[in-house]
Structure 1
Amino acid sequence: MTSRWASLRAGLEEFYAGPYRRTFARARREEDDLFRMVVLAEALGVPDPAAYYTAELVPALYEDFHTWHLRMGMDRSPLEHVGCC
């Protein structure tokens, strides 16, 4: 009985969310880009009153930094202490 409910749930989720999967992925990527910009604002030269609180999040963003700055249209890394290119 549980497997029937699970398969029904999976089918309904695919029916309702399937056509919007690309839209959801784009919205998530845009939110991630905005979050990355807020966290890296002080390093990019934009005054940030919350820099003290976001400084500890910077190491978590280094992993995808290269793809982010290429997606934003920057050929080289805008940060002098991050040499990813």
Structure 2
Amino acid sequence: MPAGSLRTEAKSLKERWRAFKAGLNEYYYAAYRSTMARAAREEDDFFMLVVLGEALGIPNPMAYETAELWPYLREDFHEWHTRLGLEDSPFDHFSCCC
């Protein structure tokens, strides 16, 4: 038996094992995917509310620290306010859409 074929067989076995693990992962988590996605969305909405709360009039003791996060949340801001049912940005000074 050539040495190269043993290496190829081991690589093939490793690939098959990864595929098997991916299949098991899909089998066990498929039923909960929508629940986990909803929980992640709710968590993101809460985080966005905490960061933008001071601008909405909600007292925030961490306003100085959370203000630094505004530029990073700008990409997700439009999705957030439309998901909340607001057609336009609720802020005069922080718009995302025309």
Q: Do they fold alike, i.e. is TM over 0.5?
A: yes
Equivalent in 18, 21, 36 of residue 33 of structure 2: 21
CA RMSD, aligned part only? 1.1
Runs of 4+ residues deviating >2 angstroms: none
Answering whether residue 81 of structure 2 is matched by residue 66 of structure 1, we say no
Unmatched tracts of structure 2, length 5 or more: 1-12
Equivalents in 1 of 2:87, 2:27: separation in Å?
40
**5+ unaligned residues in a row in structure 1: which ranges?**
none
Q: Paired residues, what number?
A: 85
Looking at CA atoms only, which structure, 1 or 2, has the larger radius of gyration? 2
User: TM (normalized to structure 2)?
Assistant: 0.80
- The structure with the greater share of residues assigned to helix is 2
SS in 2 for 1:78: coil
TM-score by length of structure 1 reads: 0.91
